[in-house]
Amino acid sequence: MDLIATSIAWARSISNSVRVNNSCCSDYTKEYWQPPRVGWVKVNIDGSVPKHTSSAAVGGVIRVHKGNWLFGFGLRIDRSGIFQTEARALYEGLVVAWHERFRQIEVESDNPILIDVHILRGQNKVADCIAKMSNGDLNVKCYFVEPRKGVRNLLKN
């Protein structure tokens, strides 16, 4: 299975209800997380490919327009390039959101190649932290109903 093709096919299949953050230039430069429209959820995703390990990790968070935590997820995966890792994070984020029956989904990533309009790293701190904390068994997705200890302070921004 080609992960990139699968991620793109998945996004296209639900394209009427998934929106990439098409912020205008002034929103793009905001330092902190920006909420989705009312009635939508935002999925922030990120990948991590540490130099000192034989694996990579993906993580993400799903929040509503008020910033409330709905779900987080983390997954340790086989090591691959950063683009493939970020594509896997996108795929896993959409799977989690869809599984939880969210149909109006906005996706954000700090990878400008993966998503046409990317966000600044500061706006993706929560997903970045979750990806870096994902150190469970290989290919076993962890769900976080409550934010992990290291993430709680980041949610305030």
Q: Residues with Cβ < 8 Å from 101, sequence gap 6 or more?
A: none
49: left (phi over 0), alpha (psi -120 to 50) or beta: beta
More confident site: 51 or 42: 42
Q: What's the pLDDT tens digit per position in 44-101?
A: 999 999 888 888 999 999 999 998 999 899 988 988 888 889 989 999 999 999 889 9
- Residue 132: per-residue pLDDT: 74
Q: Does domain 36-150 have CATH number 3.30.420.10?
A: yes
> In this structure, are residues 57 and 124 in contact, taking their beta carbons and an 8 Å threshold?
no
